[in-house]
Amino acid sequence: MAFVITDPCIGTKDAACVDVCPVDCIHPRKDEPEFAQATMLYIHPDECIDCGACVPACPVAAIYDSPESTPASQKALIEANSVFRAGDADAFATAEALVQSHVAAHAELMGVAPAERAADHAK
């Protein structure tokens, strides 16, 4: 089990979750080279200790507490979270391709402001 970042992070990406994570498992951080180009942030599934600190820190409710609790509309982003590795260009490209595929498949969600997007996840 691990927490999962989903699409309200797209267009928000403020890194508030990074600042509260006790084990530095959310990437890319603002001081990592991938940050500027990353469409969203990712949680390393093996390093996350399920503490829950990131959830209230996120201003747009982008973070779910497990893959199982992540809505069906967001399932592609579970893999994006799991493959991203800071400093690994191939992993970055794979994660970003998954995100872009998700964006293309969910124009209806992308048309909603990030702050309201999570409310539409279960629809």
Q: Which residues bind ligand SF4 (CB under 6 A)?
A: 3, 5, 9, 12-17, 20-21, 23, 25-26, 41, 43, 48-54, 57-58, 60, 62-63
Tokens of 13: 């990406």
Element housing 65 (H / E) = none
What is the closest distance, in whole angstroms, from the C-beta atom of residue 100 to ligand SF4 in the complex?
Answer: 17
Angstrom distance (rounded) from CA 53 to CA 56 = 7
- Measured from the CB atom, the residue of 43 and 99 that comes closer to ligand SF4 is 43
- Measured from the CB atom, the residue of 16 and 112 that comes closer to ligand SF4 is 16
What is the closest distance, in whole angstroms, from the C-beta atom of residue 62 to ligand SF4 in the complex?
Answer: 4
Quick one: 118 exposed, middle or buried, by C-beta within 10 A (0-12, 13-18, 19+)? buried
